[in-house]
Structure 1
Amino acid sequence: MYLRSVELLIEKNENLDQYPFNIPTINSLNKLEFRNNVTFFVGENGSGKSTILEGIAHQCGFNTAGGGRNNFYEINAAGSSLGEYLRLSWLPKISNGFFMRSESFYQFASHIDSIGAHEHYGGRSLHEQSHGESFLNLFVNRFNRKGLYLLDEPEAALSPARQLSLLRIIRDLADTSQFIIATHSPIILGYPGGQILSFDNGGIAEIAYEDTDHYQITKSFLENRNGMLKELFKD
């Protein structure tokens, strides 16, 4: 494990009532500690998962639009509003890694086309592959040596079967690499032994897999689909 903790430098901030510091989980953040090579951020939309992940990417020198240290391109609204207020603690520090941002993956693929780096991503343009194929080719071909890998909703383009393939990739690298993953997928969250941090209820707290909303709602739906839909659709 390389990244040990993330600390919010509140003394540098003079705008606690403005974004992103008005997000309850960020406002209440003191120090976030990682105790595992694989950590998951879970919580409702807007709970601060992606904001903190982007802030970590910023401090690592990764492109916050998506990519590593050597991917230089820009898109509108990319960047970190939190990164300069974070302090990362390392043991040891590592520079290799990647920030995978699902919402701007199209622009990342265009960047790879523009620099002619297809050989590092499966040998052909990511735009010439299906969305799921391009995601998986990124994981297989770019995540191939020790590093810190930050993934923001990697399940966005992956079928359930390919989510399982991602779990295998993580397992194959977990002894030499560190993963921090923001996800809504109960499949990806099921990775054995992973640390799960919930961003709900105004703070960040470690939670068991079976206690996550993702697991409980999915389990209830699969076990009682008709009953849940009847309740949902009633007038």
Structure 2
Amino acid sequence: MTVYLDRFSFTSPVDEDNFLSNDDRLKATCYSTVYPFMLFTHRELEELQFEPVTFLYGGNGSGKTTILNVIAERLKIQRGTYFNKSNFFDDYVNCCEQRTKNWSFSIQKDSRIITSDDVFDYMLDVRCVNEKVDSRREDMFEEYIDTKYSTFQMKSLEDYEKLKKNNSIKRSTFSKYVKGNLMRNIREQSNGESAFWFFTENIKENALYLLDEPENSLSAGMQLKLVKFIEDSARFFNCQFIIATHSPFLLSIKESKIYDLDRTPIAVKKWTELENVRNYFEFFKAHEEEF
């Protein structure tokens, strides 16, 4: 199994103090926040070391998404949707350092960060396509009815294509005609199936992928399919994953490393030790007899 990003170093308390005390903007202007400065230093996060599959676990505001965005910007890997930067975000990124292995332009080019916004935008695109399919289907219904019960005589070679279309309609049922002339109706896939398809289409071999809560829009069954896909991609196709998640299904991936961002200092934990997973366990344990 492959590791491209071996470790990532964040700003130390000393580096942060030096930057913030010497930055001219802070002397001249009143800023309400210096985010992402000061977010991790009090929790003693200075470095993360990565495995082929590494998880960032924590509650809202723990910094999971910020870590992914900082890494993505530092490595200059591609992203689909824009994210809101603070005034000091780029300065913070420049203070960080990374250690990579087997890193090349092709790996950088193919690597990417995939966020919930990317998946939601894709599903909105699917909905838009479906609406256009529905509109075209209605047009084709009228076209089918008008042609099916009309007479047509070819008068010149210019009418040849119209003749072919006329004969095609007369030989077909309405449903067969529509299916043969419209693109596949993507609505046949649920939102969860579309979301899962998005991951399988956008994750290729030989690259680093940062996934921000990929379980969103996925049912339990689809999450298990995603687990298998991630495991196979890491084991057989030289992919490395850094994943921010709450999902017990994803966190259960074998041989992965899990950072618990709810702890100070931030610590490596087993998935069965995480509070969110324990809550699930205790809930089902309390209802065990009902199963």
The answer to whether the superposition gives a TM-score over 0.5 is yes
Distance 1:129-1:224 versus aligned 2 partners, 3 A rule: same
Deviations 1:94-150 (A, max 9, x none): 31212111145334667999xxxxxxxxx9898995432232112211212110011
Distance 1:26-1:162 versus aligned 2 partners, 3 A rule: farther
In structure 1, give the amino acid aligned to 2:84.
A
Indicate the residue corresponding to 2:227 in structure 1: 167
Does the aligned pair in 1 maintain the 2:209–2:240 contact within 8 Å? yes
Higher RCO (C-alpha 8 Å, min separation 6): 2
Does the aligned pair in 2 maintain the 1:38–1:195 contact within 8 Å? yes
Q: 2:11 aligns with which of 9, 12, 19?
A: 9
Alignment of 1:126-165 (within 5 A): 130-165=190-225
Does the aligned pair in 2 maintain the 1:25–1:48 contact within 8 Å? no
Q: Give unpaired runs (5+ residues) of structure 2.
A: 22-32, 128-182
Q: Percent identity?
A: 32
Q: Give unpaired runs (5+ residues) of structure 1.
A: 68-73, 114-122, 227-235
Bigger-Rg structure (1/2): 2
Q: 1:190 aligns with which of 221, 227, 252?
A: 252
Indicate the residue corresponding to 2:102 in structure 1: 92
Give me the CA root mean square deviation. 3.2
The alignment status of 1:210 with 2:277, answered yes or no, reads: no
Distance 2:261 2:189 in 1: 34
Does the aligned pair in 2 maintain the 1:24–1:202 contact within 8 Å? no
In structure 2, give the amino acid aligned to 1:37.
P
Distance 1:221-1:174 versus aligned 2 partners, 3 A rule: same
Indicate the residue corresponding to 1:77 in structure 2: 84
Greater helix percent: which structure? 2
Aligned residues: 209
Does the aligned pair in 1 maintain the 2:259–2:269 contact within 8 Å? yes
In structure 2, give the amino acid aligned to 1:150.
L
Deviations 1:141-172 (A, max 9, x none): 12121100110000011000000110111111
In structure 1, give the amino acid aligned to 2:116.
S
Indicate the residue corresponding to 2:24 in structure 1: none
Does the aligned pair in 2 maintain the 1:39–1:195 contact within 8 Å? yes
Alignment of 1:216-231 (within 5 A): 216-225=278-287
Indicate the residue corresponding to 1:177 in structure 2: 239
Distance 1:125 1:195 in 2: 40
Q: Please, which moves more after superposition, 210-219 or 128-137?
A: 128-137
Indicate the residue corresponding to 1:58 in structure 2: 73
